[in-house]
Structure 1
Amino acid sequence: MEEAKEIVSASAVRAAHEVRVVVGRLRRRFRETYDNEGLTPSQTSVLSRLGKEGPASASALAAAERVRPQSMAATLAVLEERGLIQRRPDPGDGRRQLISVSEAGRAFLEDKRRAGEEWLARALQEHYTEEERRTVLEALALLDRLTRS
């Protein structure tokens, strides 16, 4: 027996589309607000992933970033040359190395995060009233509920 499909309201479909579009635009604006210090988007992505998820092997990073191992090796070589990552033997498998963010890499990520937040705070201050900022906070609380369900 086939289950009855729940009908999704037009407002839910529109809201889903608008949230996706706005989040995409915000991500692009955040990327524009900070100096990548010459890093490519893929190098920045790997560094951010290591900062969020912790140490990983090169093969795990290649799979997560959906690139070939050779491409990941080149990305990691640049990050290591810049002092943004460090390698150490995997305690569970001495043949593998785990890659993690170095102190310089953490400082880079923190500067990037801070620059984005400063841009957003200034933009919210300049373009929105206090009441509109409260509305934004209320809407974000509703959206946050999605991430917790």
Structure 2
Amino acid sequence: MAQEKDIQLAGDLRTVVTRLIKVLRKHSQTADKLSLTERSTIALLDQHQELLPNELAAMEKITTQSMSQILSNLQQRGLINRRISETDKRKAIITLSETGRQMLYQVRNERNAWLNDAIEATCTAQEQEMLRQVIGPLTKIVNFD
């Protein structure tokens, strides 16, 4: 019986997190200009500062050919920079441009603002405190491999 309850918790959590992600995606006009993988690639570059195309492809779990197309599109939009490695001229090092960084932060700010408004409008002070307390366990779940 406990196992069935645990499976129900997992299903409920998956459903609500998936729905929250979908709602958040709708609340950024800036994000609509890029695909999910393009946005994720920009976020990885912000996090890691600089990466090789094959590293980005591995992190995104896509082929290097697909990543090459994504990087080409991002470069055409001025969102990333490419430079040749000084130690290995065959390798291109990818970094986030200032324009790319500004776009990423604008998307985050738009979504954070909407989510903050939604929390304030729908949750009591006690429920808001519960949300603060659940961040730790949710982070552990996200980091589980």
State the TM-score, normalized to the length of structure 2.
0.82
Q: Name the % identity.
A: 28
Do structure 1's residue 139 and structure 2's residue 134 form an aligned pair? yes
Q: Which residue of 1 aligns with 2:123?
A: 128
CA distance in 1, matches of 2:113, 2:79: 23
Aligned-CA RMSD value: 2.5
Tell me by how many angstroms 1:95 deviates.
Answer: 1.5
The verdict on how the C-alpha distance between 1:86 and 1:64 changes in structure 2, with shifts beyond 3 A counting, is same
The aligned runs of 1:14-33 (5 Å cut-off) are 14-33=8-27
Within 5 A, what are the aligned runs for 1:12-91? 12-35=6-29, 36=31, 38-91=33-86
Q: Whose radius of gyration is greater, 1 or 2?
A: 1
- Looking at structure 2, the residues matched to 37 and 63 of structure 1 have their Cα atoms a distance apart, in angstroms, of 24
Question: Residue type of the partner of 2:134?
Answer: A
Gaps of 5+ in 1: 1-6
Unpaired runs of 5+ in structure 2? none
Cα distance change of structure 1 residues 124 and 69 upon mapping to structure 2, 3 Å threshold: same
- Normalized per residue, which structure has more helix? 2
TM-score if structure 1 supplies the norm length? 0.80
CA distance in 1, matches of 2:140, 2:63: 36
